[in-house]
Amino acid sequence: MSDKTRRVLATQVRYLPAHILLILGGLVMLFPFVWQILMSLSTNAEIQSVPPQLIPEQFMWSNYTDVFAKIPFLSQFGTSVLITVVRTVGQVVLCSLAGYAFARMRFRGRNLLFGLLLAILMIPGQAYLIPQYQIIKSLNLLETWGGVVLPGIFSAFGTFLMRQAFLSMPKELEEAARLDGCNPWQTFWRVMLPLAKPSLSAVAIVTVLWSWNDLLWPLIITSREDNMPLSVGIATLAGQYSSDWAIMMAASVMAMAPIFVLFFSMQKRVIEGLAASGVKG
């Protein structure tokens, strides 16, 4: 065996424990998803058995068809898509505008306003529930998708993320744009915003994940099945005295599938956007 081969084998053996840990970590992360899928194909008796029965004796594919009989799945799925799209578009537009203003424009009280914006991140969202409910009620938006969307159409975290992204860009870009005759809006739209695409993607994907999984606020605003998003519809399958866990797991798998695919196909852009926005404080 040559010296080069020995060195290669020694290097591989040195990093073997790290590879094993990565594989084990991946298996641990995947286990809850695999268990959820197996429970969606089981009976309630198998799910509640002690000790737990991991592999069902017979795969109950009928659980997936029974979901459509228990809840208006397609209607609630459409409501969730509508709410998610409107919230995502609203946050991308408003957070990019606000982030650019805080990063590049000079106006009186800018630092104070930004400090108040950061203070929002320090207060738990549950503290806003009663005032938000009163505002939505006064606007006659109860039992509507607009009432669900309105409080989440702007994000302090998204604004902070976009501000950091714009701060990390060199000032020479704006100076060159002004020399070419661009006004502030043209500088933002044609020069700065295209360069902030990684951060925009991060804001959009984080908003999609948060909006799709949002439960507490839609649960307070909506009470009729036809107006509920999918997260609330699935929660209604849990009864006070008994719950149909198999149907609930099947509905959760179908609701999770599109977001699962979206996140894993776009996770590189999320990481790039978060990394790019943290270059300069």
* Averages of pLDDT over each 10 residues, the chain, 281 residues: 53 55 65 86 84 83 90 91 93 92 87 87 84 91 89 89 88 85 86 87 88 90 87 82 81 88 73 57 42
Question: What is the three-class DSSP state of 135?
Answer: helix
The pLDDT score that the predictor gives to residue 9 is: 46
The pLDDT score that the predictor gives to residue 273 is: 61
Q: Distance between CA 132 and CA 123 in Å, rounded?
A: 14
The pLDDT score that the predictor gives to residue 280 is: 44
The pLDDT score that the predictor gives to residue 18 is: 57
Residue located via tokens 């809850």: 32
The pLDDT score that the predictor gives to residue 50 is: 79
Return the closest-CA partner of residue 250 out of 50, 83, 71, 82.
Answer: 71
Burial 149-171 (b: 16+ CB within 10 A, else e): bbbbbbbbbbbbbbbbbbbbbee
Question: What is the three-class DSSP state of 16?
Answer: helix
According to DSSP, residue 55 is labeled S
The pLDDT score that the predictor gives to residue 94 is: 93
The pLDDT score that the predictor gives to residue 279 is: 44
- Predicted TM-score (pTM) of the model is 0.81
